[in-house]
Structure 1
Amino acid sequence: MLDIIGARLVENLAEAFSDLTRTSCEASMVSLDYITMDQVAADVPTPVLMAVGIGKPFDGEILIAIDKVTLLATSELMLGGSAKHLDVDGVESFTAIELGFGERVAAAVLAELQRALTVVSGSALELERVETDPEAAAVAKHNSLCARIKVSVAIAGHQGAVDVIIPYDALEPIRPDLGKVYFGDRGDGQSSWHDMIGSQIERAHMTLEVLLAEEAIPIQQIMAWKPGDTINFGIEEGQDATMICADTPMFKVSIGKRNNGFVAVQITEELKLKKELETDGDDN
């Protein structure tokens, strides 16, 4: 069951990071292993953000480890940057602003873990505190065994990692449920994918073209054209034109100019075909 919870968490995190940063994000499972708390502290790279979570169904604290690549890339994107040329090699500590964004990221991870846990139990998790020292964030004794879900996060051309560490003692209330066979929850999965695809479509970019004029010209006249010839279409300011998307007329527009002298168009009418396409989309 922990394998299933981890797989659901990975799917949820891809959607959650995309929503947080308004950019495409991919998440993949690296491993689900069982290590001691000492090994957890030894394996995390520094600097690292360690977030401690509490709540149902766990009997004790759990730990979220967010590496510097993930934290800095998401912080830059949430601030409106591109994060394409992010330099993380020389970073040895986090600023107060980065820690603030880190809390938001950690809270999002906990929320998605809460969703993933619904296959075995109702849950209500919340962020208790964040630390940058692995020793201060220890949620179990040094030799206590923990389940660690390691997730790779690809965002804005950078590869980061998020670890979810759950001590065995904290799993005690749901240990019987973890041995059950799970046959899936088709409806919830479909809803999750539907929401994710919808959010991606809303952030997609489309190329718009404005058709200013059309005129039929004899082929003999065209064959006689040479460099320097002028073809007058009689286009004037305020003239009607058509805005096209993917070879489909979408709007009637009026041609004008901005104060900076650039040519602009103002939408004056929605074409019927656009409304028909929206209706078809609702039916599907």
Structure 2
Amino acid sequence: MDAKTESAAPAAERLLDNPGLSVERLPMLTLIFDRLATACAEGLRPYSPAILTCFVNSIATDHVWDALDAYDGSVAAILYSPELDARILVGLDRRCIFSLMEVLLGGDSKEPPYDDDRNFSTLETRVAQTVFEIAAEALHSAFGPIIATKFRLERVETRMDFTVMGRRNVLGVIAKILIQAMDIGGQMFVVIPQPALTPIRQQLSRDLSSDGSASDPRWQKMMRAGIEKAEVSAFAILDENELTLGEISGWRVGHILPLKASVDTKIRLDCKGQPLFWCELGQGKGHYTLKVAERVDNEEMPLARFLELAGAAEQN
């Protein structure tokens, strides 16, 4: 083979290769992996007596097989998405497995992290599988705003078979998530081949900074649930009089205070000093009652404005 033929071969391979992904052009990927890290931390919290944190360390593109070569000796899971018709890989490096065992079994991390080049035990593999099950559910939630898809755990590999991820030169997105507790920890890695992202590439390229309607539905739901459960006190105000301290000091037991209100006067319902509604006084089964007549019309009062917006959001 002459020099001209040899130089033409790499060029032909580059032409046939898939175009590379650019993480910068897919801003929703960053949001997805941030949600994945947050959900994994919440999912692992019940198992850990110590505070456990997860955060994204890096997101990059690389050839899948080259990326997996760097994690030789790790434990990984193959997750299948029926909606995307693709498989992704989630793994834990050895340091992460040994650190999780130390934390979950009540260690104090005073000893150096265990590190030995040996096969994983049955217990260590089972702990890793629990983490992968949490990650699968977290991915389902993280991809929710983009596509409604589930990730089914197919199998756990201690000796990773790369062929399931496609051709040797296939590109993919590789995210590294650090899992830490008590100053020890390790790395979770997520490998998503490019063919899995191609069908939703347009949705992933959405720019959140210019999309005013973009929001986290899970956060909205939690925020609304928290607001609705807040306990507040409401006060019915029949009438108000301005008096001097001298007049008030002259009050005695049996003193009668005249009110300008009549039976037809509307009663104002207040909460935390904010007027909410005008009400009509009534009676029922031996108790005084209030019938809401109309909302207090005051745009400057934040609570009343909030209730109006909440009602509009509920209708939408």
TM over 0.5: yes
- TM bin, normalised by shorter chain, reads 0.5 to 0.7
TM-score norm. by structure 2 comes to: 0.55
- Structure 2 residue ranges without an equivalent (≥5): 1-27, 226-316
Query: How far apart are 1:97 and its partner, in Å?
Result: 1.5
Q: Which residue of 1 aligns with 2:52?
A: 25
How many residue pairs were aligned? Answer: 194
Partner of residue 101 from structure 1, selected from 112, 127, 143: 127
Relative to structure 1, is the Cα distance of residues 153 and 194 closer, same or farther in structure 2, using a 3 angstrom cutoff? farther
SS for the counterpart of 2:190 is: strand
Q: Distance in 2 between matches of 1:34 and 1:192?
A: 33
Per the alignment, residue 188 of structure 1 pairs with 218
Secondary structure of the residue aligned to 1:94 is coil
Write the letter of the residue equivalent to 1:51: A
Tell me, in whole angstroms, the C-alpha distance in 2 between the residues paired with 1:102 and 1:95. 11
Give the letter for the 1:130 counterpart. V
Residue identity matched to 2:192:
I
Percent of residue pairs identical: 23
Structure 2: distance between partners of 1:50 and 1:103: 9
1:90 aligns with 2:121: no
Q: CA deviation at 1:170?
A: 1.5
Is residue 57–residue 174 contact of structure 1 (8 Å, CA) maintained in 2? no
Letter of the 1:2 counterpart: L
The amino acid that maps onto 1:185 is S
Contact 1:146 / 1:166 at 8 angstroms: preserved in 2? yes
- Counterpart of 2:40? 13
1:163 partner amino acid: F
Aligned letter for 2:166? Answer: A
Specify which of 78, 84, 88 is matched with residue 52 of structure 1: 78
Displacement, 1:190? Answer: 5.6
Q: State the AA in 2 paired with 1:96.
A: T
Q: 1:59 to 1:172 in 2, by over 3 A?
A: farther
Q: 1:178 to 1:67 in 2, by over 3 A?
A: same
Q: Distance in 2 between matches of 1:63 and 1:192?
A: 30
Measured after TM superposition, the shift of residue 39 of structure 1 is 1.3
Pairwise mapping of residues 99-178 of structure 1 onto structure 2 (< 5 A)? 99-136=125-162, 138-178=164-204
Shift of 1:176: 2.6
Q: CA RMSD of the aligned region, Å?
A: 2.6
Instruction: Give the 3 Å change call, closer, same or farther, for CA 76–138 of structure 1 in structure 2.
Output: farther
